Amino acid sequence: MHDEVSGLMKKESIEFKAEVNELLSLVIHSLYTNKEIFLRELISNASDAIDKLKYESLTDKALTEEGTEFRIKLAVDAKAGTLAISDNGIGMSREDVVRELGTIAHSGTREFLAALVKGEAAGHPELIGQFGVGFYSAFMVADRVAVVSKMAGSDEAVRWESSAGGSFTVEEAEREGHGTDVVLFLKQEEKDHLSQWRLKEIVTKYSDFIEHAVVMDVEREVEDKDDPSKKTTVTEEETLNSRKAIWLKRPAEVTDEEYKKFYSHVSHDFMPPAETTHFKAEGTSEFTALVFIPERAPVNILYKDFKPGPMLYVRRVQIMQNCEDLVPPYLRFVKGVVDSSDLPLNVSREMLQNNPSVEVIRKNITKKVLDALKRMKDNRTEQYENFHGQLGRVLKEGIHYDFARKEEIASLALMEATSTEPGKFTDLDAYLERMKPGQEEIYYITSTSRTEADASPYLESFRAKGYEVLIMLDEVDDIIMSSLGEFKGKKVRSATKGDISLDGEEKDKKAEELGGLMGFIKEELKGKVKDVRPSGRLTDSPCCLVAQEGGLDHNLEAMMRAMGQEMPPQERILEVNPTHPLVQAMDARHKAGGAEDELREYVSLLYGQARLLMGDRPEDPAAFAKSLNKLMVKDAEK
C-alpha cells in the first residue's frame, strides 16, 4: 500500500473505521459547549506520552539523553491560523499512528455514540476523555489536524493528517528529536484560541497540575535599555502551569477549588467530586494519597476496557496511569493519586500483585473511602442517595467479594421496602430497628420494579403479619444478599425461596386435610416441579413457584440467560394455598372421586398461573388460553 522507491514512504490515504467516522461527525456537528476542553485533552495526551517515556527509560537509558528537560510547548502561528501542541515524550511509529488515530478499540464506544446521538451527552463533550478518545476533540475547533511524531529510539518520523472527511493520510516526515507535534488548523470562528491570554486561561483552568511544564513564547513590552521612555517588545518563553504536586501538600494548604481542578484533571469529569480524601501514612509503609469519590458514575465503568485505580507515583515519578491493585474492584470508581516512598521505581504490575506495601495502601484507601461514604450517608442524605443511584450497584459488589467488610458495606446499601413510599429509601440498620417482636429474620424480595414487587403474591403473608420486606431492584441483588447471609446476627432470607411459614400450626392443620390432592398434583407435575407443598406465604393467591433455599432467583436466571450464559434447569417447588377457595373446590372434587380429566386441566391451569406470577410464561400458552376460555364459557352458561 506504500511505495518504497528511494527508501521514502509514499503518502498513503486510509479510511477511518466506521466508529471514528461516526464519532467525528458527532464531534463536529453536535457538540458545542465547553469546546475549550480540546486543549486539556491534547495536553493530557502529551503528558501521558512523557510519563511513558520516563518509565521506559528507567530500564532503557538510551531512549533519552541525560538531563533531558521534559515539557509541552504551545506554539501559535497567527498568520497561518494554527495552534501546535508539542511534547518530547515517547512518540509514535507509523503503525502506532494508524492504530491509535484511525481506530477506536473500546467496547463501550457504541453505547457512548448512542448517548451522543440521543443528545444525552451533547452538553458534556468532556465525556470523550473518559473513553480515551480525547484526541478527536481537536476537530471541535479545527477543520484540519496534522500530527508529526517520532518514536524514541527510532530514526523515522511520520506525518498523519486529516480533515475529518472519512479518511486520513500517512507519510514520511522530518522531526528533530523524539516526541509528537499536534498542529490544529483552526476554524475561522475559533481563532480566539490563537490569543495568548486565552490559552493561558485554559491551561490555568484545566491543566495547572500537569507535572510537566506547559510553555509558550509570550510577547511583552519592556523598557528600552537605551531609552527608558520607550518600550520595546521582547519574546520570552513562559511556563503557564504551576506544576504543583498538590497531593504532597498538607490538606490545610489546599483550597476546595484546587481539589476540584485536580479532580477534573484526573477524572475528565466536570462535576465536583462527592468526597475528597487526602492523607499521609507513616510507619511501616510511607505513602501519600489524594483520592476522590465521584458524584456520578463514569460513563464507561461497566465496560471491560474501563481502567480502574488511582495514578501511582513513586517519589513523584509516575509509574502507572491507572493502578487497579490500589483499590478493590467494588471501589473502582475512585480516582486520584498515590505517591509511595517504599516501592522501587522499576516496579511492574506483576510485582505489585503480591507486594506487602501495596496491600497496606489498599487497606488504608479502602477504609478511608468507606468511612467517607458513611459520613456522606449520615450527614448528606440527598447527596448520598444521588451517589448510590449512580454507583450503589458497583459498591454492593463488595458484599460478595470482601468477606471481612461485608457488613460494613451492607450498612451503606440503600433499598426500598414495603414500609417506604415508592422512590424513598431505607437501610438494613433502620430495618432492624423496625422489626416486629419475635421476628428473627430479615426478609427481602428481588424484582424488576417497585410496582411488580408491591403486587407480588409472595408478600401476602408478610403483609398479613405486618412484617416489613426489603425490595431489591438491581439484577445482582439476589447474589449480593445471598452472600451477606446475615446482618448483625439476623439471618437474611428471600421471600421467594425456601419454606417460609408465618402461620405455624394453623397452616399445618389445614395442609393435613389436602394430603390426597397434594399427591395428585405432584404426580401430574412430575418432571416440572421438584415438589408440591402447602404454602405458608400465601393468603390471597392459590399458588406460587418458589426456589429452593440457596437456589437461583428467577430475575437473575432470566438476565443470565439473556446474556447467553448456559444455565442448568432450576427445579422449583409449587406451593399451594390450603385456604384458597379454588384449592378447596379442587380438594372437594378430588375427594368425591372421578372427574380426573377435569382435575388435570385445573392442575395445568394452576401451574400456568404460578409461572405467570413468577414473571414467566405458561409452558404451553395456547393450551393455557384454551383451558381458561373453556372455564369462562362454562361459567357464563350457568
Rounded to the nearest angstrom, the gap between the alpha carbon of residue 74 and the centroid of all alpha carbons in its chain is 34
Is the model more confident about 429 or about 209? 429
* DSSP β-bridge partners for residue 490: 487
Nearest to 582 by CA among 601, 566, 563, 554: 601
Q: How far apart are CA 447 and CA 194, in angstroms?
A: 56
Mean pLDDT of 92-117: 71
Pairing mode of beta strands 311-314, 335-340: parallel
Q: Could you give the C-alpha distances from 344 to 58, 248, 358, 396, 614, in angstroms and in order?
A: 11, 19, 12, 34, 57
Residues in the chain: 638
* DSSP β-bridge partners for residue 85: 74, 182
**Residue 169 clears pLDDT 50, i.e. is over it:** yes
364 touches 289 (CB < 8 A): yes
Q: Could you give the C-alpha distances from 578 to 507, 583, 592, 608, in angstroms and in order?
A: 8, 6, 18, 18
Q: How far apart are CA 124 and CA 104, in angstroms?
A: 20
583 touches 544 (CB < 8 A): no
Other CB atoms within a 10 A radius of the CB of residue 413 amount to 24
pLDDT number for residue 86: 97
Residue ranges of domains in the chain: 5-239, 246-382, 407-494, 505-558+569-637
How many CA atoms are closer than 13 Å to the CA of 508, on its beta-carbon side?
6
pLDDT number for residue 1: 40
Query: What is the CATH number assigned to the segment(s) 407-494?
Result: 3.40.50.11260
Nearest to 253 by CA among 243, 241, 244: 244
Q: What end-to-end distance do the CA atoms of the chain give, in Å? A: 85
505-558+569-637 CATH, one of 3.40.50.300, 1.20.120.790, 3.10.20.30, 3.30.210.10: 1.20.120.790
Query: Cα-Cα-Cα-Cα dihedral of 435, 436, 439, 442, to 10°?
Result: -30
Pairing mode of beta strands 572-576, 531-534: parallel
Please give the CATH superfamily to which domain 5-239 belongs: Histidine kinase-like ATPase, C-terminal domain (3.30.565.10)
Q: Would you place residue 199 in the very low, low, confident or very high pLDDT band (cuts 50, 70, 90)?
A: very high
- Of the chain, the percentage scoring pLDDT greater than 90 comes to 43
Other CB atoms within a 10 A radius of the CB of residue 127 amount to 23
Q: Would you place residue 189 in the very low, low, confident or very high pLDDT band (cuts 50, 70, 90)?
A: very high
pLDDT number for residue 334: 95
Q: pLDDT tens digits for 607-625?
A: 998 888 887 888 888 888 8
The answer to whether the pTM exceeds 0.85 is no
- Edge-to-edge order in the sheet of strand 490-494: 416-417, 469-472, 441-446, 490-494, 486-487
Query: Sign of the CA dihedral 551, 554, 559, 561?
Result: positive
Give Cβ neighbours of residue 422 (< 8 Å, ≥ 6 apart).
416, 450, 451
Give the DSSP H or E segment for 432: helix 428-434
Q: pLDDT tens digits for 557-599?
A: 666 666 666 666 678 889 888 888 898 888 888 888 867 888 8
CATH 3.30.420.40 matches 246-382: no
pLDDT number for residue 2: 42
Nearest to 575 by CA among 466, 516, 497: 497
pLDDT number for residue 539: 85
Give Cβ neighbours of residue 327 (< 8 Å, ≥ 6 apart).
308, 309, 310, 334, 362, 365, 366, 369
